[in-house]
């Protein structure tokens, strides 16, 4: 990102130079990436321009083992390639804020900087929630803390639930994540210990710390083998806390009033609020942006609307992204659904 003096920042919606557009695009992405708790575990494919709005991803099935000995002079029956298609459709999301010339003339705040910051956070929450809702709808490797359905959930997380999820993920062939860690205090870019990333709520994190066998990141961070942002581990599960600080419906998935009837755990009007531990294996789900249109800032200066703004009073700043996402192997992701303590 280019270095700028304070005088280089554009604080009104006049024609911004290219360097300023780069600054605001970067600022948007920096704000958005902070909130990508689920999106960071997606595989990425891109769709080029003028290739239509549908994308089809294919996965070919494994062949069964060829255990039988060959008969002299007789070829085996052979195999036929078997594939599964996964299809998704591109869509667009975005929003904007209007900034009047009068407000910019009279207010002390640098409104365009503030708008860029707030829009970046909105873009991050929005994209992450869309990815989360696709991932949490998976049908494989589901563990309910008690019972066999969400509507029966009434107990908090324990080691048995976590062990069941690990066993189910491993039995299904889900591969653990192994990525380079971002620079942190005392940490370079060493390979991390393999693990299944799990996204949880702050409330569930409180209960998790009381589970026997859970290790806080403080006990091993000196080894430099962490994923950026990880809070702790239980065996092969790696935990990341995704809050919904502004009560926007973002962060970790919570099914309000989704469980059984109980008032001894967190509930809404006597029905248990079900929290999720959403677990990711490699290639569980895929994010597909349109090339060059993933996310960016859009400015319209004051007066650019023509007759719709005859007195040159209003400009806008906004963001837009074009992408889709889909689960590509139901067996390589999973979740635990449980209650949390009051």
HSE-CB at 175 with a 13 A cutoff on CA atoms is 10
Q: Which two tokens stand for residue 186?
A: 């005392």
Q: CA 204, CA 202: separation in Å to the nearest integer?
A: 5
Q: Tell me: do 293 and 160 sit in the same domain.
A: no
Q: Are residues 175 and 252 in the same domain?
A: yes
Question: The domain containing residue 97 runs over which residues?
Answer: 13-56+85-132+286-325
Sequence-ordered list of residues with C-beta below 8 angstroms from that of 109, at least 6 positions apart, any chain: none
In a domain, 1, yes or no: no
- Whether 18 and 100 map to the same domain: the answer is yes
Same domain, 98 and 214: no
Residue 296 lies in a domain: yes
Q: Does residue 189 fall inside a structural domain?
A: yes
Asked if pLDDT for residue 21 goes beyond 70, the answer is no
Helix ranges (DSSP H) in the chain: 18-33, 101-106, 111-135, 159-171, 202-208
Assigned domain for 62 exists = no
Q: How far apart are CA 199 and CA 276, in angstroms?
A: 8
Answer yes or no: do 161 and 184 share one domain. Answer: yes
Are 223 and 238 within one domain?
A: yes
Handedness of CA 134, 246, 152, 341 (dihedral sign): positive
User: Average pLDDT for residues 323-337, to the nearest whole number?
Assistant: 95
Q: For residues 41 and 170, state if they share a domain.
A: no
Q: Is residue 99 part of a domain?
A: yes
Q: Verify that 156 and 281 share a domain, yes or no.
A: yes
Residue 80 lies in a domain: no
* Residue 243 in tokens: 């809050």
* Secondary structure (DSSP) of 28-74: HHHHHHTT-TTGGGSEE--B-TTS-SEEEEEEEPPPPP--SPPBTTB
Whether residue 171 sits in one domain with residue 28: no
Where does the pLDDT of residue 267 fall: very low under 50, low under 70, confident under 90, or very high at 90 and above? very high
Structural domain contains residue 208 = yes
283 has pLDDT over 80: yes
Q: Which residues of 193-206 are buried (b: 16+ CB within 10 A; e: fewer)?
A: bebbbbbbbbbbbe
CATH code, domain carrying 313: 3.30.2400.30
User: Does one domain contain both 185 and 319?
Assistant: no
Distances (CA, A) of 302 to 99, 109, 219, 257, 327: 8, 18, 55, 47, 43
pLDDT of residue 5: 33
Residues 276 and 307 in one domain: no
Place of tokens 């569980």: 284
Are 105 and 201 within one domain? no
pLDDT at 57: 83
User: What's the half-sphere exposure (Cβ side, CA atoms, 13 Å) at 240?
Assistant: 25
Report helix, strand or coil for 270: coil
Kindly state the average pLDDT of the residues 95-114. 78
Q: How many domains does the chain have?
A: 2
Element (H, E) at 237: strand 237-241
pTM of the model: 0.83
Residue 180 domain flag: yes
pLDDT per position as a tens digit, 31-70:
666 678 998 999 988 887 777 788 888 888 888 898 999 9
Q: Residue 202 and residue 207: Cα distance in Å, rounded? A: 9
């Amino acid at each position: 990102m280019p270095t700028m003096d304070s005088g280089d920042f554009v604080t009104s919606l006049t024609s911004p130079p290219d360097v300023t557009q780069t600054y605001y695009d970067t600022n948007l992405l920096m704000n958005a990436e902070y909130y990508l708790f689920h999106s960071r575990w997606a595989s990425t494919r891109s769709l080029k321009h003028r290739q239509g709005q549908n994308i089809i991803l294919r996965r070919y099935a494994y062949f069964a083992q060829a255990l039988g000995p060959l008969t002299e002079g007789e070829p085996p029956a052979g195999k036929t390639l078997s594939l599964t298609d996964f299809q998704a459709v591109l869509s667009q999301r975005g929003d904007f804020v209007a900034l009047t010339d009068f407000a910019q003339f009279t207010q002390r705040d640098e409104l365009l900087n503030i708008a860029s910051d707030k829009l970046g956070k909105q873009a991050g929450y929005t994209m992450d929630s869309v990815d989360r809702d696709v991932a949490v709808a998976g049908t494989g490797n589901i563990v309910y803390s008690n019972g066999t359905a969400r509507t029966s959930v009434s107990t908090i997380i324990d080691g048995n639930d976590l062990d069941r999820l690990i066993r189910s993920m491993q039995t299904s062939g889900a591969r653990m994540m192994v990525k380079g860690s971002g620079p942190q205090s005392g940490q370079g870019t060493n390979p991390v210990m393999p693990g299944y990333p799990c996204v949880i709520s702050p409330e569930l994190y409180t209960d998790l710390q009381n589970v026997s066998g859970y290790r806080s990141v403080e006990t091993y961070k000196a080894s430099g083998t962490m994923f950026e942002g990880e809070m702790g581990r239980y065996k092969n599960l790696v935990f990341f806390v995704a809050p919904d600080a502004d009560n926007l419906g973002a962060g970790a998935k919570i099914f309000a009033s989704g469980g059984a009837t109980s008032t001894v755990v967190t509930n809404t009007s006597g029905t248990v609020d079900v929290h999720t531990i959403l677990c990711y294996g490699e290639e569980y789900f895929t994010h597909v942006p349109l090339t060059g249109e993933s996310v960016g800032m859009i400015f319209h200066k004051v007066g650019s609307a023509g007759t719709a703004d005859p007195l040159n009073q209003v400009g806008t700043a906004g963001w837009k992204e074009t992408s889709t996402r889909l689960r590509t192997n139901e067996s390589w992701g999973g979740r635990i659904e449980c209650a949390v303590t009051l």
